[in-house]
Amino acid sequence: MDSPAEQLRQAADAVARLGCSSADLEALPDTVVLTGQREIAKARRLLEVYAAWMAATIADRSRPELGHSGLAAQQGFLSPEAMIQKVTGSSKNEAFKLVAV
């Protein structure tokens, strides 16, 4: 079985091969549109796994016991969730969910 990194590369390549504009996608046959939608969903799921892993890394490097030397604190944030929210442009709720996962 391929590693998550290889699966992500393959999914991203499959999505990129669909075209590079809405006009390209509109010109695709129905079967390719359906396959393409599956590939996009697969890539999104894999990206969400990576987002959760990265959020866990940020949370670990921002543990309260690290005080001002923690990653979030060094970047001027009170919590890893606040930093993730700012960096990703996500909602507070989404940032908390990422860290919780």
* Per-residue pLDDT tens digits for 9-64: 999 999 999 999 999 999 999 999 999 999 999 999 999 999 999 999 999 999 99
pLDDT digits (tens, 9 = 90+) for 56-97: 999 999 999 999 999 999 999 999 999 999 999 999 999 988
Alpha helices, H only, 1-101: 4-16, 22-26, 30-60, 71-74, 80-88, 92-100
pTM value?
0.84
Q: Which residues contact 89 (CB under 8 A, 6 or more apart)?
A: none
